[in-house]
Amino acid sequence: MKNISKLLISTFAALFIFSGSANAHVTVKPSSSAPEAWETYTLKVPVEKETATTKVTLKVPEGITFESYQPVPGWKVTTEGDKDGHVKTVTWAATDAGISAGQFQQFSFVAQNPKEETNVAWDAFQYYEDGEIVEWSGDGGSELPHSVTEISVAPKADAESTDHGHKDAADTNDSKTTDNSKDSVTTEDDSNQTLIITLAVISLILSIVALFAALRKNKK
């Protein structure tokens, strides 16, 4: 029975560790927005290690036009562009202690979406104080996934587009698709929660099977 107890404790400990890390990804929100909209995006950077994050670099997806950023105390922002002057990367570098363990920081910026419906991927690079660089550039379901924003005329419920003084075709689309956006409730966070619940059920079943197997062996 002592071995069985150790097995159960190890199983559930691993499950809780995974559950915590599954929600600690670097993300860009919203996950859905309208074509040509001037959107306020938010880059959320949590710390998964016991050392501070001191810099974050975000690649601007093809078709996205970066315009401006919201200043954050303790952080210096630099941009790099192509030969035509289009911003391709944005870097937030800490001028102080950075983001400590157990904390997160959010960085907001305004950008215009592509004209056509598409999915844009946000590759991010998280720099830790100990020199490690974590690349959030994998596909969905990978260990280090990048965020994806669906550019669609029927945006999901978490889309919060604003024109920021600009006139664009998205103003008309927003009023026509309000009902559709209410019906679309499947978000990236929902997927994470579903994955966690599934793993919890599987772990519980395996633990029960192991328990019965051990009891039968003891009886023999």
pLDDT tops 90 at residue 93: yes
This prediction has a pTM of 0.65
Residue type at 71 in one-letter notation: P
Stated as kind and residue range, the H or E segment containing 204 is helix 188-219
Give the ranges where 131-187 is alpha helix by DSSP (H). 170-176, 178-183
Where is average pLDDT lowest: 3-7, 128-132, 179-183?
179-183
Average pLDDT over residues 66-79: 97
Average pLDDT across the chain, whole number: 78
β pairing state of 32-33 and 147-151: parallel
Where is average pLDDT lowest: 164-168, 191-195, 212-216?
164-168
Where is average pLDDT lowest: 35-44, 124-133, 174-183, 200-209?
174-183
Average pLDDT over residues 172-177: 42
Average pLDDT over residues 50-71: 97
